[in-house]
């Protein structure tokens, strides 16, 4: 359980146990029969081999000089960094010449001895930066090998590619083999079946497309033959867990505005939905016979632990960590809404109403624009974008599942690429126009808010809304696509979603995007008050985006305010 500490400005983690059929939670201060393996002080993501004789962990290794003092020792007062290739920075960190490597060591009386770098001298990372963790490597069932995730590319090739692979390292021979050499997109999350016969993992097909369909693949560990288990499933797979008998795999997937639990038969590849309801299944913890332990959330409730009857799909709540707070809060009603749009399609939205909503009164409306741009707008509970905080101030919040979101088929999910300012903006305007027909909507008080691509959407809407909105809030939004392309770091994302470089005049997709979908091209139409929020260490949407937007608003005489968090990344 994570407990916020306001004075220390951090979360503190405590461990508890609870009976799977319900009962009182007990804090675990000392874990019975637990191991306290002694490793290097800078070791992270520690894993014990199945036979207990080996331990693996990640550790940073300095391999490349980047500081001026590394290159020129006589310049000890210099604090410059020197780069000759991309990526010189990533997410919120400047490259310092250190790489995260996997080490394997003997476990002798719970002490890691004779550790070996399984990636010696390689200028690559495992776990993957910036968000990779212990899921990026795993021992084989016989404890003789390690499977790990790595993108073995460097410089520009690294910056434009999503092609990670699964590598098999033999501990005795120190030989490394690429298990997914001809699979060109992301390959991640290797997990062996309980009896060790199969290995499953998540895989995307297309290099450079970070939001491609995330498919579930399986390898027969003896023959190394590969199978796509999710070929008949038209959605992404977020997380998966092996059935205790190795006959099925349980997984969670965005589905029609929520995230639900499913199972797939590894022989027939048939999929069965297990849970339904207005909530998100956010994680799978364990299986006990016909019960699965999961975490669950919804827009009115932070994450709690539930057990799921795998036959009936019924759920029982095990933890009630936040009940003491909820009893003093009047919850905001959350309802579904469907809007017919011009493309002979139906747009789904979540609508969050104020407490004590009265249809005979008038209410202001906030349009929430999701980031991503291909991330799900489901029943998540956010501590940054908390819809209840907005609605409790008297606003109706409408949150459309516009073009580009998972949960409505892979075609709908993919259609936002190279169309950022097209159908997604039409979806937003259609949702606002439709809800504005309600008698309880105050059409003179409609605003729009959003972060990252949602912040881009706010900037874009500011130039095309034709008087619909009375105020805007853009949080880490993209304002000018040309300057963004020249400063963002994950260029695979820009190349795929925008179409490519602005100087490539023969690239029709890219030229169309820069001309028609860059908010800076529509600033001449800006006339509405705007709040702009920016993080100084957000290198995916760098600081110049917010600065340019604020400067444009000020020079046009528009009421505007700029919040800058210089040392923070606060995107989406």
Per-residue pLDDT reduced to its tens digit, 301-345: 999 999 999 999 999 999 999 999 999 999 999 999 999 998 889
**What average pLDDT score do residues 492-511 get?**
99
Query: What per-residue confidence (pLDDT) applies to 571?
Result: 63
**What average pLDDT score do residues 494-516 get?**
99
Cβ atoms within 10 Å, residue 285? 12
Nearest to 101, CA basis, from 84, 79, 116: 116
Query: 438's torsion region: left (phi>0), alpha (psi -120 to 50) or beta?
Result: beta
Handedness of CA 531, 536, 541, 544 (dihedral sign): positive
Residue 384 per-residue DSSP state = S
E-strand stretches of 1-43 = 2-5, 10-13, 16-17, 26-27
Give how far the C-alpha of residue 524 lies from the chain's centroid of Cα atoms, to the nearest Å. 34
Q: For the purposes of burial, counting CB atoms within 10 Å of the CB of 534, is it exposed (0-12), middle (13-18) or buried (19 or more)? A: buried
How confident is residue 36, by pLDDT bands cut at 50, 70 and 90? low
Token digits of residue 89? 């920075």
Q: In whole angstroms, give the CA distance from residue 236 to residue 164.
A: 18
Query: What per-residue confidence (pLDDT) applies to 113?
Result: 83
**What average pLDDT score do residues 9-13 get?**
71
**What average pLDDT score do residues 277-303 get?**
98
What's the pTM? 0.95
Residue 485 per-residue DSSP state = H
Query: What per-residue confidence (pLDDT) applies to 7?
Result: 73
Give how far the C-alpha of residue 547 lies from the chain's centroid of Cα atoms, to the nearest Å. 26
**What average pLDDT score do residues 390-398 get?**
98
Query: What per-residue confidence (pLDDT) applies to 252?
Result: 99
Return the H-helix or E-strand segment holding 551: helix 543-555
Pick the CATH number of 330-565 from 3.10.129.10, 3.40.50.1820, 3.40.50.970, 3.40.50.620: 3.40.50.1820
Query: What per-residue confidence (pLDDT) applies to 450?
Result: 98
- pLDDT of 520 above 80: yes
- pLDDT of 10 above 90: no
pLDDT digits (tens, 9 = 90+) for 546-572: 999 999 999 999 999 999 999 888 765
Query: What per-residue confidence (pLDDT) applies to 343?
Result: 80
Query: What per-residue confidence (pLDDT) applies to 54?
Result: 96
**What average pLDDT score do residues 106-115 get?**
86
Query: What per-residue confidence (pLDDT) applies to 572?
Result: 52
């Amino acid at each position: 359980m994570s407990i916020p500490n306001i004075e220390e400005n951090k979360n503190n983690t405590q461990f508890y146990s609870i009976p799977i059929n319900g009962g009182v939670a007990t804090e675990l201060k000392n874990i019975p029969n637990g191991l306290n393996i002694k490793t290097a002080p800078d070791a992270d993501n520690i894993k014990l081999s199945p036979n207990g004789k080996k331990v693996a962990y990640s550790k940073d290794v300095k391999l490349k000089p980047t500081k001026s003092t590394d290159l020129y020792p006589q310049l000890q007062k210099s604090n410059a960094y020197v780069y000759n290739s991309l990526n010189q920075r990533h997410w919120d960190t400047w490259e310092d010449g250190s790489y995260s490597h996997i080490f394997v060591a003997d476990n002798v009386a719970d002490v890691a001895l004779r550790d070996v770098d399984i990636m010696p001298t390689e200028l690559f990372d495992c776990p993957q930066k910036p968000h990779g963790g212990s899921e990026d490597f795993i021992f084989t069932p016989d404890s003789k090998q390690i499977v790990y995730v790595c993108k073995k590319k460097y410089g520009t090739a690294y910056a434009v590619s999503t092609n990670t692979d699964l590598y098999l390292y033999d501990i005795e021979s120190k030989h490394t083999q690429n298990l997914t050499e001809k699979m060109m997109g992301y390959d991640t999350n290797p997990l062996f079946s309980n009896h060790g016969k199969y290995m499953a993992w998540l895989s995307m097909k297309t290099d450079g497309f970070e939001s491609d369909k995330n498919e579930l693949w399986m390898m027969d560990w003896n023959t190394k033959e590969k199978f796509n288990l999710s070929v008949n499933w038209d959605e992404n797979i977020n997380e998966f867990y092996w059935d205790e008998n190795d006959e099925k795999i349980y997984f969670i997937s965005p589905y029609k505005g929520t995230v639900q639990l499913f199972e797939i038969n590894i022989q027939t590849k048939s999929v069965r939905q297990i849970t339904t309801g207005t909530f998100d299944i956010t994680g799978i913890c364990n299986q006990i016979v016909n019960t699965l332990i999961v975490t669950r959330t919804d827009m009115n409730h932070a994450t709690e632990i539930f057990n799921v009857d795998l036959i009936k799909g019924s759920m029982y709540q095990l933890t009630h960590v936040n009940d003491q707070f909820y009893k003093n809060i009047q919850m905001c009603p959350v309802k579904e809404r469907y809007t017919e749009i011009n493309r002979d399609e139906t747009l789904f939205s979540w609508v969050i109403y104020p407490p004590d909503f009265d249809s005979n009164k008038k209410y202001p409306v906030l349009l929430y624009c999701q980031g991503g741009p291909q991330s799900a707008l489901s029943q998540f509970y956010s501590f940054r974008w908390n819809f209840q905080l907005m609605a409790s101030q008297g606003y109706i919040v409408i949150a459309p599942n516009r073009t580009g979101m998972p949960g409505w088929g892979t075609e709908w999910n993919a259609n936002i690429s190279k169309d950022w300012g097209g159908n997604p903006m039409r979806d937003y305007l259609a949702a606002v126009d439709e809800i504005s027909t309600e008698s309880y909507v105050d059409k003179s008080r409609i605003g729009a808010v959003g972060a990252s691509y949602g912040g881009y959407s706010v900037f874009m809407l500011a130039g095309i809304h034709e008087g619909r909105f009375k105020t805007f809030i853009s949080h880490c939004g993209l304002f000018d696509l040309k300057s963004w392309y020249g400063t963002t770091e994950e260029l695979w994302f820009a190349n795929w979603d925008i179409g490519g470089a602005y100087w490539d005049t023969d690239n029709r997709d890219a030229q169309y995007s820069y001309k028609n979908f860059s908010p800076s091209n529509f600033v001449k139409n800006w006339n509405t008050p705007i709040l702009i929020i920016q993080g100084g260490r957000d290198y995916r949407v760098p600081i110049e985006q917010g600065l340019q937007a604020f400067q444009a608003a000020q020079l046009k005489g528009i009421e505007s305010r700029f919040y800058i968090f210089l040392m923070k990344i606060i995107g989406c």
